[in-house]
Structure 1
């Protein structure tokens, strides 16, 4: 559906979710078959009906598909063939599947399937119909403080869960935060996730991650812990609030250098409508010294929930509190 993004069968007259009238596809000429789709059908063993290519990034192509038996929509992420022939990249892609498979949390995207056949390496994830946080920032430039806090609280609880199991994501950014049908925020793409003391660089010596969202210690190639992800989430909150990240530059080096050496302008200084309490939370995430940040993702989530409780943001408060339930109290 071009209106709400939900999947519908080709013959559907109206969208099953929003009810909008669907375009008539009956007289459209069929496009020639995509060779990559044909190949993907073969390497997945016929378990999925490959519908179409959704997009393509520097590392992989993404396809929309249906499980043949369950008829449930999924996304298949396929490593580019030239990368699949490189041992390091195959292992990195495999690690994404292994890392995410260990994590069973409502705010972390699960891996349904994984396979390696010749030069084809793929993993399968649930289709999340509500798009990415990047889509929402692009459509509105910035989001409300209350929505920003609620989304970040959910992401923070998911990260806390991963961190307690020894995994650091290392690439928290709007593209890697998706939304399900119930508007829950879901962290995806654990492709460069690593244990606390594993190698922090590629074999060629390049630091892995996205420059705009890198912590200072990540930019310097240092060993990381979960507080590095909280820095990245702080950058995401900053961008979601004001419409742009705290640091920019002509190239990845100049951006990384600013993360290491410069102090961001506080969000409430950029835009006086942003509450000082939320701005302070973001700036704590952006501290250069990891010891000055929130210690754990749940600590950050609690601070965000406290902000929402004082902001009369009832819907967002419920959304965030769902991610961080009230601890059980012993009776008797």
Structure 2
């Protein structure tokens, strides 16, 4: 099946997604009979991975997807780049690598959960699901390839970001959260590492392994069970830490922590003891961003601090209100920037 024929078989998508797909096709160049080996160098995290299965080789073929690059290992998942067999565009393949039976069983459930979540979504701030395969008794999630870097990579390089850029990221992720909320989905793992920043400026929220659907009977994954692998205590809301019933406002808290880090270069509560960090999220009020850095506008600082209120009822009310506030703050930041330029 050629690319054009396959495009006609795809489910309906909104205009933004269509544009995004055609841009990806344009960037990937003409269809090739054999995919290009984009890189043979693995960009992997350090750590003890002896309990994991070895990676598949560059050039290894899985249901027509030929691996072109070993991208990373993250939370006992291996991430590969490959070429879609029909569209001839880059895609990401994500699979569980752990050998340990209990962990492997849990991670496979998370991968299956991510598949089920992405199947319901059709939004340009959320990655598209292309396929779900099994190879050598290993399930594989095939999703949209997002070029460039994650927010965490950007922060490692730049330490902090200008308020206007932080607000732009907040606006894009709020769009994603609005789409999730409409489907009664709570992400539960918002952090810089799960926010991708492609060149077109449309930030994408990734990694739905811990997401839950509110209207389904669901037993929350005990975060402490694998906290060294999957838990992210530094970004969790108080209600998530206490294993209470969650709604979309829990994700706003985690987004607030992320924005706080973008503005200040620090987390609201830092340290090496995860239990102590969790308790501080429940009990303590963090120092405001504008108290750490006087150049941060107080209005932006107050917006982030409202996201970090302990009680969900004291946070924002709805996504439309959040978007309106962000627009107003961006306008204020732009006016201040213009005034500064003119004064010089």
TM-score, normalised via structure 1 length = 0.79
In 2, distance between residues paired with 1:149 and 1:37?
40
Q: 2:194 aligns with which of 176, 189, 192?
A: 176
Q: List runs of 5+ in structure 1 lacking aligned partners.
A: 1-6, 10-24, 29-33, 316-332
Aligned residue for 2:124?
106
Aligned residue for 2:70?
53
* Residue 170 of structure 2 corresponds to residue 152 of structure 1: yes
* Residue 284 of structure 2 corresponds to residue 265 of structure 1: no
- The alpha carbon displacement at 1:96 in A equals 0.4
Deviations 1:248-307 (A, max 9, x none): 122211111110011010000110100011101000000000000012233222211111
Q: CA RMSD in A?
A: 2.9
- The alpha carbon displacement at 1:82 in A equals 1.8
C-alpha contact 1:59 1:80 (8 A) present in aligned 2: yes
C-alpha contact 1:83 1:89 (8 A) present in aligned 2: no
Q: 1:40 and 1:165, CA in 2 relative to 1: closer, same or farther beyond 3 A? A: farther
TM-score, normalised via structure 2 length = 0.76
Length, aligned pairs only: 287
Q: List runs of 5+ in structure 2 lacking aligned partners.
A: 1-26, 30-38, 41-52, 338-344
C-alpha contact 1:81 1:119 (8 A) present in aligned 2: no
C-alpha contact 1:192 1:209 (8 A) present in aligned 2: no
* Residue 134 of structure 2 corresponds to residue 116 of structure 1: yes
In 2, distance between residues paired with 1:277 and 1:296?
19
SS at match of 1:312: helix
In 1, distance between residues paired with 2:236 and 2:224?
19
* Residue 59 of structure 2 corresponds to residue 37 of structure 1: no
Using the TM superposition, name which of 224-233 and 52-61 deviates more: 52-61
SS at match of 1:192: coil
Aligned residue for 2:153?
135
C-alpha contact 1:97 1:111 (8 A) present in aligned 2: yes
- The alpha carbon displacement at 1:48 in A equals 1.3
- The alpha carbon displacement at 1:71 in A equals 2.1
In 2, distance between residues paired with 1:201 and 1:54?
27
- The alpha carbon displacement at 1:244 in A equals 1.3
